Chain A
């Protein structure tokens, strides 16, 4: 492909449909599709149908979606093609199929948050990110599965059934944005949006072998994102390539008067930094963000560091011991905010209602029936953390830890432009493996929560496959509003990532499916 921004596609191809007549659409990525549609070289309707064919083929086995919006997507695609035919200007994501995590509000489509308590509720308003995607010409295919209220790391905590990992349906796709990660990995759409409160974009991205970005807190409006923990939640893209993630972020980022915590600054311009290389960049490998990871994951991080050094980066090790307090602080702050954010689901105005003797009994019965175990567990944890007499010891102390971590990372960024670590302790685990052990599930977030606590951006980029043949992600972290350097390093890592079995630095990646290797071709580079 001609566009220099079109990177490699990490998508697991849709099996036998590879090389069909519409291959240009399927493997061009968002950047290539939008460019071809704008030029009239590709019809949005064809692009959409190709992707819908993948959905049709793979959705029964994967269960990525909680709702599909095929008819509206087709109408939008037709309108877009007509606009192009009339010579009208179309947006940056013209004709690009997108999927949204089902905690983002779109009028006319249910927003369930993967919970019974919201079943049947249809938002009357549109999330800022959804509006921006729509205005940029993206085609919304559907809403994707998630752990209930984004609380979980496997998408098994959805009230509507688990999602399978496209690389191995016996395994989880990660979570909580598992539906979006799996849909993108399966080639159902080049761009999925997720939300990341403690790693919910980056962890499933790593487990599904796609790119996942948690932007700087405040870079992307949260208006229309159903809150889990407001001070940590941030919307970001999951994509097959770093270039697609950059394009998606450029579209969804930027000031929004509807979100008071959204920064009053324009979206970053990321195209120019892609492929710029890492010559002279100072990269700190954070031991605390690798320690305890499985061997195959640690090996991938080490390989990534080596290759960055080989490309001219100044790579050194750095210790940030404060990271070890991240998980405990996170599991106080996030549930505390959640206990308040989820108080509104009381059966009074919308969603589920289970009748009771009086209002209080109705509230209690509704919440007991509507929330799953994990959500109830966190509401109780958070309520306790905020209770009179415990506030200082728990919530207050966790906030102090947060301040400490921000300082610790600020110190590290005195010496380094970016930091490198693992995204997850291990590759995709088996369905059910950690369901009975919440603490073990919580540990999935150990390397990702620091960025949420500090508000700093981070991305996970696939870096080959592990001994199991499953994708491994490495994590790049940057200082607040350091998206440019984050994507600069991310795109370099993407370009230098091991390819299939021939170049497996992190064990032998055999490619779980034929399409796995095929999809990781180098594109036009």
Chain B
């Protein structure tokens, strides 16, 4: 039915997208969830295995305490209730699952509730986070790599039994951007607390999206589809929008959305049905009799709290605080400063900004230089001497260097280090003396009378050309803002 419908491009006027995400993260423990085998990516296949993770007859699982610690840290970071939990068996047959059941937490997960704050301030609710074991990895050989047409399949059990934490969000996401931002934020938290290396490309972070649509203004949720095989933030965004658009198309054509699991085909840019609700596996969950309940005690929770560092949201709030203290306006949590703050925290460079501000740099300037220039080379930026950077900011603010010159000096600082004043002197960089900018403007006006005339006549878009010419004439020494001020003054006199 849905195949016959032409799928529009999202967004579709009058419709709202609703998404909740299930994020599976491999916990970066030294060993697997139920045995002592190494938890490592990329090793020679089937070398990190033992009777337990191969599910050999007679073997028994023993819970990895480190996995519980990491799960508790994530719970603390998300504001969840970290509680007594129980493992169940999820029964289904698949060759890369050695026991043909997966040990997973079911109705009593270790973390319940909580929320996550996106950089734009929106809070996304967390339903739960639960521990489970990963499966092995199957590679289909021959054909096009899918199971159909393959001549045989190879299974690597190195991944079997690797600890996973599945974090389930409320259906609070309303756009592909939010979905991506949620995963990016969650990833940053997981990395910050040491729970995960966050490597999506290695499968350390895997995302399934539950997507539904409804008319704008509707209070009830539509029927959802679960979309699997989202291997990057880009896939996630594309798949969520495509799935929402597909559902709208189905509804507009008079159909109904069937609750089903769908597979994202990255190359085709569409989702295809995997199995319907009726075909869904009956997992026959029952309590795992080989394990005992896990009850985090006060000491474990205390350790978890102590191990959670300042999280991205708090770090962003701190930067906003610096901005509002240094500036004269209440910083908006959107637009340029917000994006800059998010970028700086995401690059782990907020300490550089804060340190520079402490040493007398203007907060907005320090933030802009870090977000726009230094963040392009995050590794070098994290090694940058805070005092040197602060000095540079002070020089620029004092008019000793133009913005262009300051960026040049910053480039040298990032590449080689050193003292900004000495770098500026060695390269003959100094802001122009008073009156020099006017000289350059007069010269440019004379050389380009037609553009100058259009500027005076009020054509705004020619400003860029004129400023650029002045910058070139001055060899980059002129300050862009100062040039603009001279241009404005000339026009107001005209």
Contact = CB atoms under 8 A, between A and B. Distances in A.
Nearest to A358: B147
A268 interface: no
B56 A260 contact: no
Contact of A105 (B58, B63, B291): B58
B101 A343 contact: yes
Interface string B82-116: 00000001010101001111000000000000000
A125 B286 contact: no
A260 B60 contact: yes
A222 B284 contact: no
Given A336-B286, A340-B284, A387-B282, A226 B93 contact: no
A259 B292 CA distance: 10
A121 B56 CA distance: 10
Interface string A475-507: 000000000000000000000000000000000
A346 B284 contact: no
Interface residues of A, number: 44
A124 B56 contact: yes
B57 A105 contact: yes
Interface in B253-286: 282, 284-286
B62 interface: yes
Nearest to A350: B56
A348 B99 contact: no
Contact of B58 (A123, A260, A349, A383): A123
B45 to A, nearest CB: 14
Interface string A391-432: 100010000000000000000000000000000000000000
B101 A340 contact: yes
A388 interface: yes
Given A105-B58, A111-B57, A261-B60, 16 more contacts: A104-B58, A113-B57, A124-B56, A222-B60, A224-B58, A224-B59, A226-B57, A226-B58, A227-B290, A257-B62, A261-B291, A350-B56, A359-B95, A386-B286, A391-B284, A395-B286
B91 A340 contact: yes
Contact of A258 (B57, B60, B93): B60
A260 B68 CA distance: 15
Contact of A123 (B57, B93, B95, B99): B57
Residue from the set B58, B63, B286 with the largest chain A CB neighbour count within 10 Å: B58
B378 interface: no
A39 interface: no
B65 to A, nearest CB: 12
A195 B64 CA distance: 28
A261 B289 contact: yes
30 contacts: A104-B58, A105-B57, A105-B58, A113-B57, A121-B57, A123-B51, A123-B56, A123-B57, A124-B56, A125-B51, A125-B56, A127-B58, A224-B58, A224-B59, A227-B57, A260-B60, A260-B61, A261-B289, A261-B290, A261-B291, A337-B286, A339-B91, A340-B286, A343-B101, A344-B57, A346-B93, A386-B284, A387-B284, A388-B282, A391-B284
Nearest to B284: A386
Contacts of B155: 348
Helix, strand, loop or mixed for chain B's interface? loop
Interface in A307-364: 336-337, 339-340, 343-344, 346, 348-350, 359-360, 363
A313 to B, nearest CB: 36
Interface of B: 51, 54-63, 89, 91, 93, 95, 98-101, 153, 155, 282, 284-286, 289-292
Closest 6 A-B residue pairs measured CB to CB? A343-B100, A386-B284, A231-B289, A230-B289, A226-B57, A226-B58
Given A124-B56, A260-B290, A344 B51 contact: no
Contacts of B95: 346, 348, 359
A223 interface: yes
Residue from the set B89, B100, B289 with the largest chain A CB neighbour count within 10 Å: B289
Residue from the set B59, B285, B286 with the largest chain A CB neighbour count within 10 Å: B286
Residue from the set A123, A348, A349 with the largest chain B CB neighbour count within 10 Å: A348
A47 interface: no
A102 B214 CA distance: 61
Nearest to B34: A260
A159 interface: no
A118 interface: yes
Contacts of B292: 260-261
Nearest to A359: B95
Given A124-B51, A260-B291, A383-B284, A363 B58 contact: no
A350 B282 CA distance: 26
A19 B49 CA distance: 53
Nearest to A262: B60
B89 A340 contact: yes
Contacts of A127: 58
Contacts of A337: 286, 289
A219 interface: no
A42 interface: no
Residue from the set B56, B60, B100, B155 with the largest chain A CB neighbour count within 10 Å: B60
Interface in A108-160: 111, 113, 118, 121, 123-125, 127
Nearest to B283: A388
A400 to B, nearest CB: 13
A225 B61 contact: no
B286 A260 contact: no
Contacts of A259: 60, 62
B132 to A, nearest CB: 16
Interface string A77-120: 00000000000000000000000000111000001010000100
Contacts of A346: 93, 95, 100
B470 to A, nearest CB: 72
Nearest to B56: A123
A363 B60 contact: no
Contact of A260 (B62, B91, B153, B285): B62
A104 B57 CA distance: 9
A222 B61 CA distance: 11
A336 B54 CA distance: 22
B242 to A, nearest CB: 30
A343 B91 contact: yes
A363 B286 contact: no
A523 B178 CA distance: 83
Contacts of B290: 227, 230, 260-261
A229 B282 CA distance: 21
B282 A360 contact: no
Interface in A175-190: none
Contacts of A344: 55, 57, 98-100
Contacts of B284: 339-340, 383, 386-388, 391
A227 B60 CA distance: 9
Interface string A242-285: 00000000000000011111000000000000000000000000
B347 to A, nearest CB: 43
A111 B57 CA distance: 9
A104 B58 CA distance: 7
Contacts of B153: 359
Given A105-B58, A226-B57, A363 B93 contact: yes
Contacts of A104: 58
